Structure 1
Amino acid sequence: MADGRRRALVLGGYGLIGAACLRRMTTAGWRVTGVGRDAAAARRVAPDADWAIRDLAAMGEAEWRALVAGADVVINASGALQDGGGDDLGAIHERAVVRLVRALEGSRTRLVQISAAGVAPDAPTAFFRTKARGDGAIRASGLDWVILRPTLVIGAGAFGGSALLRAAAALPGVAPQVLPEAMIQTVALDDVADAVLAAAEGAIPGGTVADLTEAEARSLPETVAAVRHWLGLPRALWAPPVPPVLLRGAAAVADGLGRLGWRSPLRSTAIRALADGVRGDPSAWEAAGGAPCRPLEQTLAAMPAGLQERWFARLYLLFPLAVATLSVFWIASGLIGLARTGAAAEVLTSRGWSDAAARVAVWIGGVADLALGLAILWRPLVRAAALGMAALAGGYLVAATLAAPDLWADPMGPLVKVIPGLVLALVVAALTESR
């Protein structure tokens, strides 16, 4: 390069692991380009970074060759948990990797693949099977490669499973015993980023396949208890068992919501992975010269929890509840208005409106309420729908004040009761970002 710095390409650069790798490589003096398909998410995660906005799953080999040209190392931190919500596991984990491998053929570029502990061609979930096939394409190539397979990643930021872990730990007074037989090993996000840097700089031999993990495992409830202690919350007073059928039901609902764009960590793939245990063997990594990964207690001690961590943990589960509440409220409001047009129109006709104008106003309002109540259930439209609810509620208040100011003094408080819904919509709009 013109400035003499080595160049790194980080695929999936705004994800939990990708963003950490991007930052670590940059501070180590590399010239780093992050790659991802969402320009807004990229700017939020690393506003000063160099970004190439690409849909990795849709790129052809020519685009891949142009993208990787001149890179000294390519770090593949892209991935998805489950099909749905715009994600295609076969395209992301397998076909994109095959095209990447072909684009790198004949080059001296090192490929660092971030996979997952437990991948296998005959694994019970598509996530692990597709990851294994992508890893297999790399291992069968003549490239200079290193494959790293982290267990459950814990960092200052939280996404997916690590976010759900915090939310479960923050339940007030309750510690549900979910999958008590499942054994979990973790790895610090900083340790993963350091491992990637070591692999990128050649400190790890080519051809290494290694799990990144702490040495010891603990049960899932013990892991949740450790996070609860880290958050500074008192011990739970009640630890009820969670029947497997309830967990399967939650996973089925989460899978259904995935079709609406919601990437819930409660989807069946995550539940199955937890049930099977998140385990790894650190021996291959340490034999390759890698530094031992710290245990969970040290990981948590290195990132003291503050008010923002407790807020996040509590709001993580309240957010979907708030979305559901708004959806039910606005759908019900719309249906009731449309079903009882005459009664609703009477509020206006009794104040001088013509019957036709009153009925048109009721129908427009009912259809708008129903549309917003349905729109907020689709993940890409959550923020727009929430802001639309706030704007429409504000419009109702202004219109009612002009047309029927006496309603403010109504003992049933029909206008006063609009205000909490308006505020809740603004809160939801403020919480919609997932990265």
Structure 2
Amino acid sequence: MSGKLIALTGATGFIGRHLLRALSARGYRVRVLLRRPVEVPEGASGAVVGDLARPMNMAAALTGADAVVHSAGLAHAMSGAPEDDFRSSNTEATRHLAEAAQRAKVGRFVFLSSIRAQSGPSASSPLSETDAPAPTDAYGRSKLAAEQALAEIGLDWVALRPVLVYGAGVKGNMAALLRLARSPYPLPLASLTGRRSLVSLESLTEAVVTVLESPSPLKRPLIVADPDPLTLPEMMSALRTGLGRNPGLLPCPVPLIGLACRATGREASFDRLAGSLIARAEGLTALGWRPAQETREGLAALARGENG
């Protein structure tokens, strides 16, 4: 690598922590933007303290940067947050940072968006970047609005729309699946047939590197998804394979599973994991991106790491 200087936001988050380590290991210099004075994260070549909602220090953060990788924002797990909070954290903060990047003449702005900018939690047919975006919640709308703001500003930007990301330290639905995989009991999941696209932290990193190194202007959203969508039983089998166990899956009528989830307050999580959401990373693949690993192998490795 050429030692390009990357300004990274969200370096203490689930995705940002991994990006910091991985980009530094590849020879990039990474300057992190922190919201409060803390110890500089390992792998950072420098740090600037500032608040994206009040961008006073943006000039210092972006001076000399070749690119911005913006992974900070209000996560989808904060589903109870008001729409204004998502708009402020995910849309307006992105706009302010992009405007500062344009003033600093940064070469490229890489925005970590989400597949939820394009779709609800499930989709009846495979998604591609040519589909009209149709977000269904405040989180997805805020991400789409941020993408639209980037297009209006005029700098060279790209919005990566990852599907469900898994990797060490994952939370939310994938963490719940890991807990189920570690349970000693057979699970009544064998009858679920909905297929979902996933992407590993490592493959998402490859996507970031691909767009950082692309020689031509991008100025568009790109889906990030492994090419092999899995059913929930296949996910569980891969996780339990990583734990050195048999799948232990039993058939059960799907409506009965849904009823049990509703009775225990897990209806939304069930709908997100049991429904289908297949996404095609066609634009990113055309740029030369390849996933770092096959999804089943990645899930097995996750279970081994989490279990150890």
Instruction: Report the TM-score when normalising by structure 1.
Output: 0.57
Aligned length: 286
Contact (CA 8 Å) 1:231, 1:309: kept in 2 or not? Answer: no
Letter matched to residue 31 of structure 2: T
Q: What is the aligned counterpart of 2:261 among 247, 251, 275?
A: 247
Contact (CA 8 Å) 2:95, 2:146: kept in 1 or not? Answer: yes
Aligned with 1:140: secondary structure?
Answer: helix
Instruction: Label 1:66 to 1:83 Cα distance change in 2 as closer, same or farther (>3 A).
Output: farther
Q: What is the aligned counterpart of 1:105 among 102, 106, 131?
A: 102
Distance 2:106 2:61 in 1: 15
Q: What is the aligned counterpart of 1:235 among 214, 228, 247?
A: 247
Residue 217 of structure 2 is aligned to residue 219 of structure 1? no
Distance 2:151 2:190 in 1: 37
Counterpart in 2 of 1:195? 207
Q: What is the aligned counterpart of 1:70 among 50, 59, 64?
A: 64
Counterpart in 2 of 1:60? 54
Contact (CA 8 Å) 1:118, 1:280: kept in 2 or not? Answer: no
| Structure 2: stretches of 5+ with no match in the other structure | 119-132
Contact (CA 8 Å) 1:154, 1:162: kept in 2 or not? Answer: yes
Contact (CA 8 Å) 1:12, 1:78: kept in 2 or not? Answer: yes
Aligned 1:381-396 pairs, distance under 5 A: none
Counterpart in 1 of 2:282? 283
Letter matched to residue 100 of structure 1: L
Moved over 6 A (4+): none
Aligned 1:17-416 pairs, distance under 5 A: 17-37=15-35, 46-47=41-42, 49=44, 50-56=46-52, 59-79=53-73, 80-81=75-76, 82-84=78-80, 88-106=85-103, 107-120=105-118, 122-177=134-189, 180-203=192-215, 205-236=217-248, 238=250, 243-248=257-262, 250-251=264-265, 268=268, 273-274=272-273, 276-292=275-291, 294-300=293-299, 303=301, 305-306=303-304, 309-310=306-307
Instruction: Label 1:207 to 1:85 Cα distance change in 2 as closer, same or farther (>3 A).
Output: closer
Larger of the two Rg values belongs to structure: 1
Aligned with 1:105: secondary structure?
Answer: helix
Counterpart in 2 of 1:429? none
CA shift digits 1:299-318 (9 cap, x unpaired)? 246x3754x6226xxxxxxx
Instruction: Label 1:231 to 1:278 Cα distance change in 2 as closer, same or farther (>3 A).
Output: farther
Superposed displacement of residue 132, structure 1: 1.0
Contact (CA 8 Å) 1:89, 1:127: kept in 2 or not? Answer: yes
Contact (CA 8 Å) 2:68, 2:101: kept in 1 or not? Answer: no
Instruction: Report the TM-score when normalising by structure 2.
Output: 0.78
CA shift digits 1:28-62 (9 cap, x unpaired)? 2222122344666x76xx44534444443xx2244
Superposed displacement of residue 211, structure 1: 1.2
Q: Percent identity at matched positions?
A: 27
Superposed displacement of residue 278, structure 1: 3.5
Contact (CA 8 Å) 1:213, 1:293: kept in 2 or not? Answer: no
Greater strand proportion? 2
Instruction: Label 1:220 to 1:237 Cα distance change in 2 as closer, same or farther (>3 A).
Output: closer
Superposed displacement of residue 153, structure 1: 1.7
Letter matched to residue 210 of structure 1: L
Distance 2:191 2:92 in 1: 34
Superposed displacement of residue 154, structure 1: 2.5
Superposed displacement of residue 108, structure 1: 3.6
Greater length-normalized contact order (CA 8 Å, ≥ 6 residues apart) = 2
| Structure 1: stretches of 5+ with no match in the other structure | 252-265, 312-435
Instruction: Label 1:23 to 1:204 Cα distance change in 2 as closer, same or farther (>3 A).
Output: farther
Distance 1:186 1:35 in 2: 28
Distance 1:158 1:310 in 2: 13
Instruction: Label 1:137 to 1:157 Cα distance change in 2 as closer, same or farther (>3 A).
Output: same
Distance 2:142 2:275 in 1: 17
